[in-house]
Amino acid sequence: MTERLQKVLSQAGVASRRQAEQYILEGRVTVNGRVVKELGTKVTPGKDQIRVDGKIIGAERSVYILLYKPKGVVSTMSDPEGRKTVKSLVDGIPERIYPVGRLDYSTEGLLLMTNDGELAHALTHPSHEIEKTYLARVLGLPAEEKLDRLRIGIRLEDGVTA
């Protein structure tokens, strides 16, 4: 089965898809001995020989981690503000993994981390309508009309919430 080269590079743990695209555009990637500079090039993993900067890449094992994210940690692999990230909680994992979904800095809870892009997409893309449950403590008792607004959805700049 053929797949886009940048996806194969990402799944192999070489780089993110965007970074893999940059590697391709820079001419750092070869397939079967030929430099590839065209995005969207199709390859057959396991059959085609793919190299990045001369190094052969292979399929990366799939990793799935259920992580308890404490308060005071951001759900990202790097933070320009210098805050502690979930990456620091999984430093011993050699594969390039990333969080599936987000939890706010001041919240805590279960977070899935993986290198399985298909699973991450299936769980997070709105078209799949995966139900999520959140538990929140609030001061006082919210008025029923405010709860109704939450139930029907609140309009944000990217659409109405579920």
What amino acid positions are annotated as catalytic residues? 104
By DSSP bridging, strand 159-160 and strand 155-156 are: antiparallel
CA 9 – CA 19 distance, rounded (Å): 9
End-to-end Cα spacing for the chain: 36
- Residue recorded with tokens 């959805």: 153
Burial class (CB in 10 A: 0-12, 13-18, 19+), 58: exposed
